[in-house]
Chains A and B, each alone.
Chain A
């Protein structure tokens, strides 16, 4: 309040300090009040403002939120649109796939249907054909059956009629015949009966008469026969009287002869017994003789066996002796030959010794057997060795030849001398070669010719290289390569 402030400011000069203080206090109070009022107003104003601001802020907030919402909505719609696009694409794809699958299935279904239709058609056709065939067959069978049935029934009927008619005819015929036959037989029967009666009567009468006649006749015959019989009996008796007597005599004779026969029979028996006994004796004696004969035979056989054996033995011994003799002869001849050989060897040796003797030196002629070059110890050792029982076979064999020690001595000496001579000869030969070479070189050096100038010439050389003859190198080369065993072993195993 500029007025308020101006007012008190203009009055300051006219007042006293207390008034000024009071004024100042009043002014301060008024200012305070005013300030309070102001403050109140301010607060009120601020409150209003605050409220307004709050309202505004709320409104603004709403606005803001609204704007934000719009923005967010936009963003959201964009997002959603994108999602929708994506989803629509995926759905379209899925849909397409499903469509294609459905098409495939539909195609498969159609093909399967076609196949099934094809199969069905061919099946139906086959069935139709089969049905036709069966129907044809059935028809033919039925026809056949019908025709056969008709044929059979016709036949049957015709036969039946035939048979019936024949049967009837036959019946009629038979009736007639039977009737006729009955009549006929009746008549015949009556006649026969009458005849029979008649004849029976006749025969009866006749029989009675005949019986009478026969009786009479027979009686007469019987009497006559009886008389005849008596007669014959008498005659017979008379005839047989003497026969009877004869008969009696014969009977008596018969008895006597029977007795004789008995006695004779007894004699016979005795004789037979005797015969039997004799036969037995004969048998026994025969047997004994046989036994004796057998024994003799056996003995004979033994003897012959022995004889044979002895013969065999003899022959064997002979053969043995013969072989022995042959052996002996061969051995003796062999021995003789050997001895001959030995003799010859000995002669050879003698000749050789003579030859050697010719070649011997004076020293050898005098002292043929040199003293041993071994020392005393060695000699004793050697003797001990020889004293030992030799174990080896060769050593045992050699025992036989101990006598030849002296010979071996001389022989070995000769051999050693020979070897030494040979070595000397070799050495001399080498020397000879060397000397020749030197000579050649010297001669080469002396003579001057083209060929020699081209070759190595000692005259034209300053230093004398070692004169190794080419042959030595060759000789060196002749030596085989020597490889140490250790070296070989390393690499072979």
Chain B
């Protein structure tokens, strides 16, 4: 009998050894040994009364508006409360109190769905406030919306707003009643007829208060007006211009300013530039897609030397030869500008040659974009001279100018002497077939050149880019 028992023990041990390695729980706790209660009500649980701590936290969350208690909590309680806080809480409570990114991430996602936070410096809070302020400004109707509604946002968001990208500005609403009265009244009241006090949102009230603002992009236009299109929706009036200029002057931390697609003419450009002279922090300036002519270009030239501008973009304006000459004159003595974009103007050969001459003296400009300026062979000659002499230019773009075959030859020759150029874009310049084979030879000879050569549209050659890796120093 004892033998039998011994054998049983052995076999049982052997069996136990063969079981998978499961944690050995106490029988009372092991759910596989105890009787299990399977309730029909999925909410049922033995824990009927939540912990007092949980109740407290719940009430904190519920009454967060009246009593915002957050910083007095322990860290793990704080995370619990932050998880549960509603994203719809009023901003005047949460703005300066909550710094947790997850809360702001939830706010952003609830309001705008999935969005790319990398463009906002990977900070959800910053994205929320910038977009919120942007929306408020975009929907601001002058004389109807109370500017107080904007101003009261300022103390909440001034620490977080670094970039404002305004994509539309609403003009004042034309009040039909007022017009009717004016029609039927005497001349006396016509004289005293009040137009709208401001034509668009006045940035003056806002910019000097946003102490961290570094980028400002504005468009004076209305998005999505559809069938309600009127020209006055896209007017950038003198009053607006003056107000904006004052506002820019008052904002001391602004680094990037861009006003585009707003029909900025010469006069307005001069007004703006006059206030931007000697601005302490402006680095990038962009007047792209406006209507600036030669006088405005002269003003810009003056600005170039009276500020610390590093990047200037005046693409798609109406600058001609004299304007380019003014800018070139400024370039000769400029030491701060790094990138200049003059594409889609009407510089012509006169302007192109002026700029090329300036480049012979300038030693800081690294990137120059002269595309689509109606330039031809003389400019090519001038530029080739530049390529020989200039040692700082790294990126030149002369695409879409009819340089022609002769121009191409001259350019080629200049290129052969250059050792610092990294990127050169000569698409659509009609440097024809004769030039290509020699370009190959050029490429093999000079190692740091990247040439994008695409054949004329009729021949449909495939674009081949040649970029030789590494080796910056010859």
Q: Does B associate with A?
A: yes
Question: Are A125 and B234 in contact, CB atoms less than 8 angstroms apart?
Answer: no
Question: Are B316 and A121 in contact, CB atoms less than 8 angstroms apart?
Answer: yes
Interface membership of B261, Cβ < 8 A: yes
Closest 4 CB pairs of A and B: A121-B289, A121-B261, A125-B289, A124-B316
Q: How far is the CA of A128 from the CA of B234 in the complex (A)?
A: 21
Interface membership of B248, Cβ < 8 A: no
Tell me which of A118, A122, A124 contacts B344 (CB under 8 A). A124
Q: How far is the CA of A128 from the CA of B261 in the complex (A)?
A: 13
Chain B neighbourhood of A125, CB < 8 A: 260-261, 288-289
Q: Which of A380-408 contact B (CB under 8 A)?
A: none
Number of interface residues of B (CB under 8 A): 12
Q: Mark B261-290, 1 if CB is under 8 A from A, else 0.
A: 101000000000000000000000000111
Min CB distance B72 to A, Å, is 44
Min CB distance A64 to B, Å, is 69
Q: Mark A367-379, 1 if CB is under 8 A from B, else 0.
A: 0000000000000
Size category of the binding interface on chain A: under 10
A125's nearest neighbour on chain B, judged by CB, is: B289
Q: A124-B315, A128-B288 are in contact. List 17 more A-B contacts (CB 8 A).
A: A114-B231, A117-B291, A118-B234, A118-B261, A118-B263, A121-B261, A121-B289, A121-B290, A121-B316, A122-B289, A124-B289, A124-B316, A125-B260, A125-B261, A125-B288, A125-B289, A128-B315
The A contact surface, by secondary structure, is helix
Q: How far is the CA of A5 from the CA of B289 in the complex (A)?
A: 128
Q: How far is the CA of A122 from the CA of B288 in the complex (A)?
A: 11
Q: How far is the CA of A121 from the CA of B260 in the complex (A)?
A: 9
Chain A neighbourhood of B234, CB < 8 A: 118
Q: How far is the CA of A377 from the CA of B162 in the complex (A)?
A: 142
A118's nearest neighbour on chain B, judged by CB, is: B234
Sampled A-B contacts (18; CB under 8 Å): A111-B231, A114-B231, A117-B291, A118-B234, A118-B261, A118-B263, A121-B261, A121-B289, A121-B290, A122-B261, A122-B289, A124-B315, A124-B316, A124-B344, A125-B260, A125-B261, A128-B288, A128-B315
B: residues with CB less than 8 A from A are 231, 234, 260-261, 263, 288-291, 315-316, 344
Chain A neighbourhood of B231, CB < 8 A: 111, 114
Chain B neighbourhood of A118, CB < 8 A: 234, 261, 263
A117's nearest neighbour on chain B, judged by CB, is: B291
Q: How far is the CA of A111 from the CA of B260 in the complex (A)?
A: 20
Min CB distance B259 to A, Å, is 12
Q: How far is the CA of A267 from the CA of B316 in the complex (A)?
A: 139
Min CB distance A421 to B, Å, is 103
Q: How far is the CA of A128 from the CA of B344 in the complex (A)?
A: 12
Q: How far is the CA of A281 from the CA of B231 in the complex (A)?
A: 131
Q: How far is the CA of A411 from the CA of B231 in the complex (A)?
A: 119
Q: Which of A87-139 contact B (CB under 8 A)?
A: 111, 114, 117-118, 121-122, 124-125, 128
Chain B neighbourhood of A114, CB < 8 A: 231
B260's nearest neighbour on chain A, judged by CB, is: A125
Q: How far is the CA of A44 from the CA of B263 in the complex (A)?
A: 105
Min CB distance A290 to B, Å, is 70
A120's nearest neighbour on chain B, judged by CB, is: B316
B289's nearest neighbour on chain A, judged by CB, is: A121
Chain B neighbourhood of A117, CB < 8 A: 291
Chain A neighbourhood of B289, CB < 8 A: 121-122, 124-125
Chain A neighbourhood of B344, CB < 8 A: 124
Q: How far is the CA of A128 from the CA of B231 in the complex (A)?
A: 25
Q: How far is the CA of A124 from the CA of B288 in the complex (A)?
A: 10
Central interface residue in B260, B288, B289, by most chain A CB within 10 Å = B289
Q: How far is the CA of A128 from the CA of B290 in the complex (A)?
A: 15
Q: How far is the CA of A186 from the CA of B417 in the complex (A)?
A: 77
Q: How far is the CA of A122 from the CA of B290 in the complex (A)?
A: 10
Chain B neighbourhood of A122, CB < 8 A: 261, 289
Min CB distance A365 to B, Å, is 113
Q: How far is the CA of A111 from the CA of B230 in the complex (A)?
A: 12
Q: How far is the CA of A117 from the CA of B261 in the complex (A)?
A: 10
Min CB distance B466 to A, Å, is 15
B313's nearest neighbour on chain A, judged by CB, is: A128
Central interface residue in A114, A117, A124, by most chain B CB within 10 Å = A124
Chain A neighbourhood of B261, CB < 8 A: 118, 121-122, 125
Q: How far is the CA of A117 from the CA of B288 in the complex (A)?
A: 13
Q: How far is the CA of A114 from the CA of B156 in the complex (A)?
A: 41
Chain B neighbourhood of A121, CB < 8 A: 261, 289-290, 316
Q: How far is the CA of A414 from the CA of B43 in the complex (A)?
A: 108
Chain A neighbourhood of B291, CB < 8 A: 117
Q: How far is the CA of A121 from the CA of B263 in the complex (A)?
A: 10
Chain B neighbourhood of A128, CB < 8 A: 288, 315
Chain A neighbourhood of B315, CB < 8 A: 124, 128
Min CB distance A151 to B, Å, is 16
Central interface residue in A117, A118, A121, A128, by most chain B CB within 10 Å = A121
B372's nearest neighbour on chain A, judged by CB, is: A124
Chain A neighbourhood of B290, CB < 8 A: 121
